[in-house]
Amino acid sequence: MTETVFYAELPWPEVEARIAAGAPVFLPLGATEQHGRHMALNVDVVLPTAIAARAAAAVGGLVLPTLAYGNRSQPKTGGGPGFPGTINLSAQTFALILRDVICDLFRQKVRKIVTVNGHYENIGPTIEGIELALDAIGRDRSDGLVILRVDHWDMVQGATLERIFPDGYPGIELEHASVIETSMMMALRPELVDLTKAAHDGPAAFLPYDRYPKPCAEVPPSGVLSLTEGSSAEKGEWLLADCTAGIVAAVAREFN
Amino acid sequence: MTETVFYAELPWPEVEARIAAGAPVFLPLGATEQHGRHMALNVDVVLPTAIAARAAAAVGGLVLPTLAYGNRSQPKTGGGPGFPGTINLSAQTFALILRDVICDLFRQKVRKIVTVNGHYENIGPTIEGIELALDAIGRDRSDGLVILRVDHWDMVQGATLERIFPDGYPGIELEHASVIETSMMMALRPELVDLTKAAHDGPAAFLPYDRYPKPCAEVPPSGVLSLTEGSSAEKGEWLLADCTAGIVAAVAREFN
Amino acid sequence: MTETVFYAELPWPEVEARIAAGAPVFLPLGATEQHGRHMALNVDVVLPTAIAARAAAAVGGLVLPTLAYGNRSQPKTGGGPGFPGTINLSAQTFALILRDVICDLFRQKVRKIVTVNGHYENIGPTIEGIELALDAIGRDRSDGLVILRVDHWDMVQGATLERIFPDGYPGIELEHASVIETSMMMALRPELVDLTKAAHDGPAAFLPYDRYPKPCAEVPPSGVLSLTEGSSAEKGEWLLADCTAGIVAAVAREFN
Amino acid sequence: MTETVFYAELPWPEVEARIAAGAPVFLPLGATEQHGRHMALNVDVVLPTAIAARAAAAVGGLVLPTLAYGNRSQPKTGGGPGFPGTINLSAQTFALILRDVICDLFRQKVRKIVTVNGHYENIGPTIEGIELALDAIGRDRSDGLVILRVDHWDMVQGATLERIFPDGYPGIELEHASVIETSMMMALRPELVDLTKAAHDGPAAFLPYDRYPKPCAEVPPSGVLSLTEGSSAEKGEWLLADCTAGIVAAVAREFN
Amino acid sequence: MTETVFYAELPWPEVEARIAAGAPVFLPLGATEQHGRHMALNVDVVLPTAIAARAAAAVGGLVLPTLAYGNRSQPKTGGGPGFPGTINLSAQTFALILRDVICDLFRQKVRKIVTVNGHYENIGPTIEGIELALDAIGRDRSDGLVILRVDHWDMVQGATLERIFPDGYPGIELEHASVIETSMMMALRPELVDLTKAAHDGPAAFLPYDRYPKPCAEVPPSGVLSLTEGSSAEKGEWLLADCTAGIVAAVAREFN
Amino acid sequence: MTETVFYAELPWPEVEARIAAGAPVFLPLGATEQHGRHMALNVDVVLPTAIAARAAAAVGGLVLPTLAYGNRSQPKTGGGPGFPGTINLSAQTFALILRDVICDLFRQKVRKIVTVNGHYENIGPTIEGIELALDAIGRDRSDGLVILRVDHWDMVQGATLERIFPDGYPGIELEHASVIETSMMMALRPELVDLTKAAHDGPAAFLPYDRYPKPCAEVPPSGVLSLTEGSSAEKGEWLLADCTAGIVAAVAREFN
């Protein structure tokens, strides 16, 4: 069982040994959130887990269990907290999980941590969780602790986006459940994608502000914020390759 | 993709429809915790997930993503917070996750919830999380909300324990990483068990109190609190069958 | 007034002197909780206070004021949060009290602390409170800080249980308001026990899971989970002697 | 045992019956805090408990267990958090205890609550705890819930203060461990007072601001902020009579 | 004094009357954060306050006191928490302020609330604070409560950006302390801008991930993330006009 | 712009330089609270801000942005949380702001901090916030950190009060919105005072206890707890001079 990159599939002596040997530890951050009528709720879990696993395989790292529940979905970036199926943690709860996990990794002498995020709304509470951990651990460190915070979509190369969106990239926020996520899911878990169910009620035309508590009327009923046309497993592989390469490069730059 | 019992492998319209049709929702509660030299760290994730999935299949239910990080491991029941590999959440963090998930399930009209726990130390903060959710939702309900809290080991029949332990059952606490858990893992994920690595440094002889902060000297170095001898996949299936049947019976009794 | 073991009955210079001389400090942890129709609500306060006082007298220790409010009573171990008379703290509140008291004892150079618990539901948040204090104080200590966590029932010898329960010990959880607690109360505060009011509606036959929010129908209406028959002050003294001796032995083993 | 006013010395059916009959419930709020070389640390527990008990006896009320740990002692009103013997809760912990106790009293249909405070620093977090409970319970009530918050020293009549302090009343803050508290302790628990140990290092001459973190140099080393001369049990009885009468009058005015 | 739009410059009867008459209430959200060598630390306070005041004047609204401390500055959007002068609140503290203020506005019957944000890092905890308030107040409202959340930069028209950045808009994140903010400050508080002090060490070339705890080396030493060249009060007025008009339009659309 | 004492009106290099040169940093603590029909809601913001600015000018200090929202107003000291116009933070929220600001000032090497409070109800949570910051930073400091906590009314000389109140000083609590505050506002912001609107419904005759949740009937309807007769800008200047001189003296005594 020792060939796996998955931390939790190893017995403790093997984990201890790999960490002592300098293995970076990847923490995928996901969500259980609507991703349109054509994809499963676990898109934000599948993508960062797969990307972290590919990166870990390349650099001798370990992948922690993915956080499967994310910070409250918002209408403009995920459909919003009122969408059926979506399960929302409060920002403080999410940040406390990060704080606890990082503090405990630190306690067992992990000094190279990479969070790999797949859910837009997690950005803020991930930063907060890291800061809370550093509040507890201290920031003036001589032990080399480095935490990298990666949003997978920021690892995609401009050239790749141009290949995928010859008519222009709509931006990652509107990309929710759209071509990028759909393509990567088609590459990784095609059985969880059914393009025949894809609605054509987007792209969303959002007003330039948020409104509470009434759900935002501008969210397309399908939950797809942009469009799914043109998604393909091949494009998914291009994107996954970029994400993996970007993380591998970051690890090489920052942990040596 | 609609045959699965896993909530997060479904698109949102299917989840909405199943909940509207009365599907109970199972939430497996796990941990990432040392389980001896012979088993992976994910035992407390694998077991409740599998049990919940079998029960859900039997009753038309849905299984939520498993909480993969548990409340602080204690020396006498899991080796303790200082064991390599183990990752510990504070009790408050764990309880807040439960609170948030239950409140959000309630919001989307789920009225039948079953937590299926696989980690002893989760018991207290699971109760607290349920109570916190009820503090928020209110307890005088006419909408039929029922939450069942199951520890899988309590579903095992006395007769089964007698078959497995003809010389007497050592109790679930000492069973950590021992015959019961090892047998169920052999039935479910044999590739994550390597009995040749099982140490024989137990069973633990604990003093009748806890000591902090120095790690408890009485924990066997392997992390196995009792013994692994006699573990088998066949016994694992006996246990899994009991757990599944017990939950199915509970669902039948309480949700109708 | 300097003969007392009760910390709060001393002026500060005497407390300062005793701590400087190495006196261990005992913190009894109780609850205000129903204990059947035949006993007062303060059973979980009286017992650990008395046990701590006897142990402190034997080892030159000090007994802090008892926490008189405990963590939320649960149906299977205390009748549950909905029972008249019972007053419930949330787990986080209880843990924060422990944290604050321990941190403040530490600040005034107390290095030998023993919590003596009399309420089953306090176990989890007591552990959490100790861990929170250690999160704040730090765990790598050269100052000899040792905290012992004792549940008084775990100090009872097997031989004593056999004498008291010649037909077999039902286990501490079912013992709520039953022979063990009743006997010790008869030894300590007989005026707070009225066996003529003892109901015979037990022992409880609990289902192997918990149910929320509807109160568990299986709790005997009296609140006595097992039986009171056979309770006596004499048996109470056997039990108190065991508890005291056990703590004295623990203090001798761990603080020297 | 049914003659007592102490809530926790009653079995649950008796508490239930008295509350149903309209008994007001008194919650004494104390502290474990230095009170000079001549008095025990429990002054702030003994006084509000005794006053609440006298008032409860007069109005058919019940007295809950006293909170024995108070909010952080401050130099000018109690000697400060660094004094030996004093044990300090944070304001949030203290407020949460109040919140939980009040919410749970409310749940069991108590509608007449009186907090009787004996520790100056508890005022703020008591108000906060009551407000937090009302945040949870709601403020627009038709069920008659009334909570009275009493500081016992505010119940003393001007005429009594003139009798006790013919040269002028120094104010309650400086009165810490001085004539008022000493006299009441002499009336209630004379064995916990030893006037031969009273130092004459006061009254304190405080600067008109607070300083942190260095302990305030102006606190008299004895911890007595004013003077003890002239303390007597007789004066203590005058004071206790005022406090009792004041609470009885408040109960008559507000709960009918 | 009754001509002002500033809530806190009015006596309570006037505030009560305006709210009863339907005045929307604006809450500006700012920060105390470095904004380069050429501008004061209060840019994020001055801008949303002025924009809210102009909008309030146009629609008969009131402007609450601005929150002058913001959520933790991050390197890529504000220079980061380690920059001299910047003062950082944790996300939870910021969210709790929002929660408390909104709940209290709701209590006094305000039903039209607009948050006007001037600090990028406030976005997440503002959303969380609004959600926490709605958790407390409830979301199924018949009283017409509407909360609008505005980031002022999202109100700028594309045409205006094209006029200001004929060579292309670098995006709001890189705009920190750059042309947009500098121009608006020159229009509003020219005495707080000194363009002779503007450094030319940008624009920042950020790596596509965040790094902790070591400050991000890619932040320009001046704290200006992009460029200041071309800033002018005239451009500032174009921007302020857009922001004001956008909010006025939103108020008209949503509150009627 | 470098002549100002206001921290947030300076660019970061100037703030950094002044702190390095030893400038004490003043943090004014205010509230948005009813102050009668004759004054604006910002009295508790205007007064401590102006006093801090005068003191800072005298000692070469810096004045941070004022906290404009205070801890929950209470009936006897400010009219109470239910008064129109008043906006209340919970005690914990207020304390967390203090904690965060102080910790962040400490991080940037500020070692001389003075809080200048203008709202009675802020006292408790200010102390708590300072203590929470010290819990995080540590109390055994060799870096000279000193925090002074000033309530401005405590800086007024007895002789001045005698001049202002020849018939006797009613005490600061009853002074809410009365002669002292009105006079200082007349000196500082006369346009925010309209004595023709001053009601004559006081002074309040409070009962010697607090009552919840029903608003205290004894609060004068105007919100003025005592009287406004005799207020004048000249008296306001006497008071401001005392407050300034008192703080200057404290700074001289404690920071050198």
Assess E195–A contact: CB distance below 8 Å, yes or no.
no
Q: What is the predicted pLDDT for the residue at A246?
A: 98
Residue E237's alpha-carbon distances to E26, E55, E167, E244, in angstroms, are 21, 14, 20, 10
Assess E135–F contact: CB distance below 8 Å, yes or no.
no
**Mean pLDDT confidence for D205-221:** 85
Number of domains in chain C: 1
Residue C253's alpha-carbon distances to B209, C87, C250, in angstroms, are 12, 36, 5
With beta carbons under 8 A apart, name residues in chain C contacting B141.
213
Highest mean pLDDT among B3-12, E194-203, F212-221: B3-12
Which of E72, E130, E211 has the CB atom closest to A131's CB atom?
E72
Average predicted confidence (pLDDT) for chain A: 93
| Per-residue pLDDT band at C172 (split at 50, 70, 90) | low
Task: Give the CB-side neighbour count of residue D226, counting CA atoms within 13 A.
Answer: 21
Query: Mind listing the pLDDT tens digit for each residue in C233-244?
Result: 999 999 999 999
For every residue of C52-64, DSSP letters joined together read HHHHHHHHT-EEP
**Mean pLDDT confidence for B12-18:** 97
pLDDT at position F172 over 70: no
Mutate to test the interface with B, among A37, A43, A104 (most CBs of B within 10 A): A104
Residue E1 placed within a domain: no
pLDDT at position F181 over 90: yes
Average predicted confidence (pLDDT) for chain D: 93
CB-based contacts of F163, cutoff 8 Å, min separation 6: F235, F238
Whether D143 is a known active-site residue: answer: no
Are A7 and A62 spatial neighbours (Cβ–Cβ below 8 Å)? yes
Q: What is the predicted pLDDT for the residue at F214?
A: 80
Question: Residue C219 corresponds to which tokens in the numbers above?
Answer: 């709790």
Residue F198 DSSP code? -
Q: What is the predicted pLDDT for the residue at E88?
A: 97
* Per-residue confidence in pLDDT tens, chain E, 256 aa: 558 999 999 999 999 999 999 999 999 999 999 999 999 999 999 999 999 999 999 999 999 999 999 999 999 888 888 899 999 999 999 999 999 999 999 999 999 999 999 999 999 999 999 999 999 999 887 888 999 999 999 999 999 999 999 888 877 667 788 999 999 999 999 999 999 999 878 788 889 999 999 866 678 888 888 889 899 999 999 999 999 999 999 999 999 7
Shortest Cα distance from C10 to chain B (angstroms)? Answer: 28
Task: Give the CB-side neighbour count of residue A132, counting CA atoms within 13 A.
Answer: 23
pLDDT at position F143 over 90: no
Pairing, β A210-212 against β E146-151: antiparallel
Shortest Cα distance from C229 to chain D (angstroms)? Answer: 18
Residue B189 placed within a domain: yes
Pairing, β A70-71 against β A88-89: parallel
Distance (Å, rounded) from C-alpha F43 to C-alpha F54?
A: 17
Residue D3: exposed, middle, or buried by beta-carbon count in 10 A (0-12, 13-18, 19+)? exposed
Are A150 and E209 spatial neighbours (Cβ–Cβ below 8 Å)? yes
**Mean pLDDT confidence for D201-225:** 84
pLDDT at position A24 over 90: yes
CB-based contacts of E98, cutoff 8 Å, min separation 6: E115, E125, E126, E128, E129, E130, E132, E133
Q: What is the predicted pLDDT for the residue at F155?
A: 97
| Per-residue pLDDT band at A141 (split at 50, 70, 90) | confident
Average predicted confidence (pLDDT) for chain C: 93
Which of C95, C210, C250 has the CB atom closest to B91's CB atom?
C95
Residue D181 placed within a domain: yes
Query: Mind listing the pLDDT tens digit for each residue in C73-121?
Result: 999 888 888 899 999 999 999 999 999 999 999 999 999 999 999 999 9
Q: What is the predicted pLDDT for the residue at B218?
A: 75
Q: What is the predicted pLDDT for the residue at E193?
A: 97
Distance (Å, rounded) from C-alpha B164 to C-alpha B179?
A: 8
Question: Residue E223 corresponds to which tokens in the numbers above?
Answer: 């704290």
Q: What is the predicted pLDDT for the residue at C44?
A: 98
Residue C1 placed within a domain: no
CATH number for A16 = 3.40.50.10310
Which of A74, A135, A209 has the CB atom closest to E150's CB atom?
A209
Distance (Å, rounded) from C-alpha F144 to C-alpha F137?
A: 13
Catalytic residues of C: 33, 35, 44, 119, 121, 176, 181
Name the strands in the sheet holding C112-117, side by side, starting at the edge strand that comes first in the sequence: B210-212, C146-151, C112-117, C25-29, C62-63
| Per-residue pLDDT band at F8 (split at 50, 70, 90) | very high
Whole domain around residue D219: which residue ranges? 7-255
Mutate to test the interface with B, among A93, A121, A185 (most CBs of B within 10 A): A93
ipTM, two decimals: 0.96
Point out the catalytic residue in the list D35, D38, D151, D152.
D35
Question: Residue A192 corresponds to which tokens in the numbers above?
Answer: 């969880």
pLDDT at position A5 over 80: yes
With beta carbons under 8 A apart, name residues in chain E contacting F191.
1
Assess B150–C contact: CB distance below 8 Å, yes or no.
yes
Distance (Å, rounded) from C-alpha E129 to C-alpha B96?
A: 17
Residue A2 placed within a domain: no
Assess D60–C contact: CB distance below 8 Å, yes or no.
no
- Minimum mean pLDDT among A149-153, B169-173, C65-69, F234-238: which range? B169-173
Residue B1 placed within a domain: no
Question: Residue A65 corresponds to which tokens in the numbers above?
Answer: 């269990």
CB contact under 8 A, C1 and D96: no
Q: What is the predicted pLDDT for the residue at B63?
A: 98
Whether F121 is a known active-site residue: answer: yes
**Mean pLDDT confidence for B45-66:** 98
Assess B124–C contact: CB distance below 8 Å, yes or no.
yes
Assess E127–F contact: CB distance below 8 Å, yes or no.
no
pLDDT at position C207 over 70: yes
Query: Mind listing the pLDDT tens digit for each residue in A34-81?
Result: 999 999 999 999 999 999 999 999 999 999 999 999 999 999 888 888
Whether B254 is a known active-site residue: answer: no
pTM of this structure: 0.97
**Mean pLDDT confidence for D117-135:** 97
Residue B40 placed within a domain: yes
Whether F154 is a known active-site residue: answer: no
Assess E2–F contact: CB distance below 8 Å, yes or no.
no
- Minimum mean pLDDT among B123-132, D16-25, E9-18, E175-184: which range? E175-184
Q: Do the two chains F and D touch, given a threshold of 8 Å on CB pairs and at least 3 pairs?
A: yes
3-class state of residue D149 by DSSP:
strand
Q: What is the predicted pLDDT for the residue at A175?
A: 77
| Per-residue pLDDT band at A119 (split at 50, 70, 90) | very high
CB contact under 8 A, B208 and C155: yes
**Mean pLDDT confidence for D186-202:** 92
Q: What is the predicted pLDDT for the residue at B2?
A: 59
Which of C124, C211, C253 has the CB atom closest to B91's CB atom?
C124
Of B5, B15, B125, the residue nearest B70 (C-alpha): B125
Residue D1 placed within a domain: no
Q: What is the predicted pLDDT for the residue at F173?
A: 65
Greater confidence, E144 or A140? Answer: E144
| Per-residue pLDDT band at B219 (split at 50, 70, 90) | confident
For every residue of A92-132, DSSP letters joined together read HHHHHHHHHHHHHHHHTT--EEEEEE--GGGHHHHHHHHHH
Q: What is the predicted pLDDT for the residue at D214?
A: 81
Distance (Å, rounded) from C-alpha D179 to C-alpha D199?
A: 13
CB contact under 8 A, A212 and E250: no
pLDDT at position A200 over 80: no
Are C18 and C1 spatial neighbours (Cβ–Cβ below 8 Å)? no
Catalytic residues of E: 33, 35, 44, 119, 121, 176, 181
Which of E128, E150, E214 has the CB atom closest to A90's CB atom?
E128
Chain mean position to CA F202:
23
With beta carbons under 8 A apart, name residues in chain E contacting F88.
100, 104
Shortest Cα distance from D75 to chain C (angstroms)? Answer: 15
Assess C20–D contact: CB distance below 8 Å, yes or no.
no
Distance (Å, rounded) from C-alpha E194 to C-alpha A239?
A: 45
Residue C131 DSSP code? H
Query: Mind listing the pLDDT tens digit for each residue in F73-123?
Result: 999 888 888 899 999 999 999 999 999 999 999 999 999 999 999 999 999
| Per-residue pLDDT band at A168 (split at 50, 70, 90) | confident
Assess F85–E contact: CB distance below 8 Å, yes or no.
yes
